[in-house]
């Protein structure tokens, strides 16, 4: 495994301090525990460790990566595929089609990534042979326990009888490691209190009565203008309620919570990444483990009950030593012990324009990896259309059966009209709005 080539594929100049510490301190004769905040690059760190044990001549699954959420599983899959290009990687998770997954598992992947419930499902039905599995990663282990996956993780680990290497990662420091993990003698790298990981946050509060909270939120969005913003709520109903308000005001946004279909959740994150929307309203489902870069502002419409959840929400912004803003909307009588009493109050104005529309819109393309279509093919097709310029095309993401392309809003109608009956790699494709 040539590290420099891997970094080039990932478009990274060098490993960060935590990742270097992981490689320097790893002892293959012991298990390994990594404590490091969300957004510090844990995925690449443990993926590089797996590379020390993967054998090209082994015909069968060699490593399990167990994660608490579907989105994290998909995010890890992207990194693992780039790092370990010679090894088949398969991702399984709740909400995905089980038949499709079963077909993928017929040719055993070297690396299996998945959520506890779905991995258990396939193990119980004999879709996975574990006789060659020597490595296990329990990523965001504390979150998996919080989500109630204890029983499934026990079932998984009991079936991995040939394990020799265990890696456990956690955003928060754990007082003790549960016996069921099988971890006894281990090396620890602890960056949970590392000063370089502490976000540079500017925190302010907005005071509003219960009947005026929505108005205050709207004024705050207008105050922040075009800044990329995540609004956190405690409940799905609140997310949907805010969404209805923003729809009435014609503010482009998306919602993200556990009540949505998996495809809708993935699309919401994709559009937030590619600047097709700059406002994402969510529950704590988006507080941990997701790759949501370059978030400028966090708004707590409802505050969580525990300080840990508050910290993890704020970790969505000011990542990797960048700066960010946090706004807390409080009712006059609300008091949370983890909110500093010296937090500055922000006075809001009624006389501000609406935030501008996000610069891009996302188009859906009926072709993907199964059709041997890649990003270069899509860019070439777009440029072949009349009046499409380089700056009109943004981020492109290619999935198994479909693709998504961010294009300038001013170019959407032109591209859809001129792409009718077009072909990419000989396949007739349809392009439309998401």
CA terminus-to-terminus distance, the chain: 39
Separation between Cα atoms, residue 176 and residue 296, nearest integer Å: 35
Identify which of 120, 94, 93, 91 has the alpha carbon closest to the alpha carbon of residue 105.
91
pLDDT tens digits, residue range 216-232? 999 999 999 999 999 99
Residue 315, pLDDT score: 73
Residues facing 167 on adjacent strands: 32, 137
Tokens of 10: 């990932």
Query: What does the pLDDT read at residue 320?
Result: 46
Look at residue 125 and tell me whether its pLDDT is greater than 80. yes
Domains located in the chain, CATH noted: 3-195 (3.40.50.300), 199-345 (3.40.50.300), 360-433 (3.30.70.330)
pLDDT tens across 19-69, in order?
999 999 999 999 999 998 777 889 999 999 999 999 999 999 999 999 998
- Mean pLDDT of all residues in 170-192: 89
Query: Where is pLDDT greater, at 307 or 419?
Result: 419
Report d(CA 361, CA 411) in Å as an integer: 9
92 strand-pairing partners: 114
| Average pLDDT rounded to a whole number, residues 260-288 | 88
Could you tell me the pLDDT band of residue 176, with boundaries at 50, 70 and 90?
confident
Q: Cβ distance 298 to 317 under 8 Å?
A: yes
pLDDT at 116 over 80: yes
In the prediction, which pLDDT does 338 show?
86
- Quick check: 344 pLDDT over 70? yes
CB 293 within 8 A of CB 321: no
Question: pLDDT, tens digit, for every residue of 65-109?
Answer: 999 988 889 889 989 999 999 899 999 998 888 999 999 999 999
Residue with tokens 């088949």: 88
d(CA 365, CA 83): 27
* Two structure tokens written together for 133: 């599995």
Q: How far is CA 94 from CA 65, 111, 236, 259, in A?
A: 15, 18, 19, 13
Q: Which residue has the higher pLDDT, 338 or 278?
A: 278
What secondary structure letter does DSSP report for 370?
G
Q: Which residues pair with 433 in a beta bridge?
A: 363
> Which pLDDT belongs to residue 291?
62
Query: Is the full-model pTM beyond 0.85?
Result: no
**For residue 416, is pLDDT > 90?**
yes
pLDDT band at 126 (very low <50, low <70, confident <90, very high): very high
- pLDDT grade for 149, boundaries at 50, 70 and 90: very high
* Cα–Cα distance measured from residue 347 to residue 362, given in angstroms and rounded to the nearest whole number: 35
Please give the radius of gyration of the chain, using alpha carbons only, rounded to the nearest integer: 23
Per-residue pLDDT at 321:
46
Q: Determine the pLDDT at residue 316.
A: 67
Strands 186-190 and 200-207: unpaired
Pairing mode, strands 427-428 and 403-408: unpaired
Q: Per-residue DSSP letters for 190-242? A: E-TT-GGGS-EEEEEEEE--GGGHHHHHHHHHHHHTT--EEEE-SSHHHHHHH
What pLDDT is attached to residue 98? 93
Q: Who wins on pLDDT, 307 or 161?
A: 161
Backbone angles phi, psi at 212, to 5 degrees: -115, 10
- Given this model, what pLDDT does residue 148 score? 87
For the beta carbon of residue 97, count every other beta carbon within 10 angstroms.
Answer: 9
Beta-bridged to residue 405, according to DSSP, are 363, 396
How far apart, in whole angstroms, are the C-alpha atoms of residue 41 and residue 194? Answer: 14
Q: Which tokens is 318 given? A: 């000011």
pLDDT score of 333 more than 50: yes
Longest dimension (CA), the chain: 67
Residue 359 scores a pLDDT above 70: yes
Reading the block at residue 61, the tokens are 């699954």
Higher pLDDT, 168 or 202: 168
């Amino acid at each position: 495994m040539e590290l420099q080539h891997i970094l080039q594929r990932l478009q990274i100049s060098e490993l960060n301090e935590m990742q270097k510490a992981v490689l320097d301190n790893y002892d293959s004769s012991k298990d390994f525990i990594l404590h490091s905040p969300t957004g510090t690059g844990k995925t690449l760190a443990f993926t590089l460790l797996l590379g020390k044990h993967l054998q090209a001549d082994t015909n069968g699954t060699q490593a399990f990566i167990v994660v608490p959420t579907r989105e994290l599983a998909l995010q890890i899959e992207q990194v693992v595929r780039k790092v370990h290009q010679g090894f088949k990687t398969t991702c399984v998770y709740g909400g995905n089609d089980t038949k499709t997954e079963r077909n993928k598992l017929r040719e055993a992947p070297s690396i299996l990534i998945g959520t506890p419930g779905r991995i258990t499902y396939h193990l119980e039905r004999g879709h996975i042979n574990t006789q060659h599995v020597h490595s296990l990663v329990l990523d965001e282990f504390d979150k998996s326990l919080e989500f109630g996956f204890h029983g499934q993780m026990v079932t998984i680990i009991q079936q991995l009888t040939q394990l020799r290497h265990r890696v456990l990662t956690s955003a928060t420091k754990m007082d003790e490691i549960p016996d069921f993990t099988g971890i006894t003698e281990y090396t620890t790298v602890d960056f949970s209190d590392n000063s370089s990981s502490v976000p540079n946050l500017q925190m302010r509060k907005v005071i509003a009565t219960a009947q005026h909270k929505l108005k205050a939120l709207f004024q705050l969005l207008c105050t922040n203008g075009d800044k990329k913003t995540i609004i956190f709520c405690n409940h799905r109903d609140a997310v949907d309620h805010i969404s209805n308000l923003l729809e009435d005001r014609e503010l482009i946004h998306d919602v993200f919570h556990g009540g949505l279909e998996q495809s809708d959740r993935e699309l919401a994150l994709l559009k937030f990444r590619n600047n097709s929307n700059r406002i994402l309203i969510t529950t704590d489902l988006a507080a941990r483990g997701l790759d949501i870069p370059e978030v400028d502002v966090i708004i707590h419409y409802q505050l969580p009950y525990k300080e840990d959840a508050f910290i993890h929400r704020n970790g969505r912004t000011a990542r990797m030593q960048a700066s960010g803003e946090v706004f807390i909307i409080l009712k006059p009588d609300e008091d949370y012990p983890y909110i500093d009493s010296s937090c500055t109050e922000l006075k809001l104005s009624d006389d501000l324009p609406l935030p501008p529309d996000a610069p891009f819109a996302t188009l859906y393309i009926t072709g993907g990896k199964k059709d041997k279509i890649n990003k270069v093919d899509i860019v070439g097709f777009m440029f072949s259309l009349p009046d499409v310029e380089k700056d009109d095309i943004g981020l492109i993401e290619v999935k198994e059966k479909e693709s998504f392309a961010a294009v300038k809003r001013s170019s959407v109608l032109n591209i859809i009209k001129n792409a009718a009956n077009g072909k990419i790699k000989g396949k007739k494709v349809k392009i439309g709005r998401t």
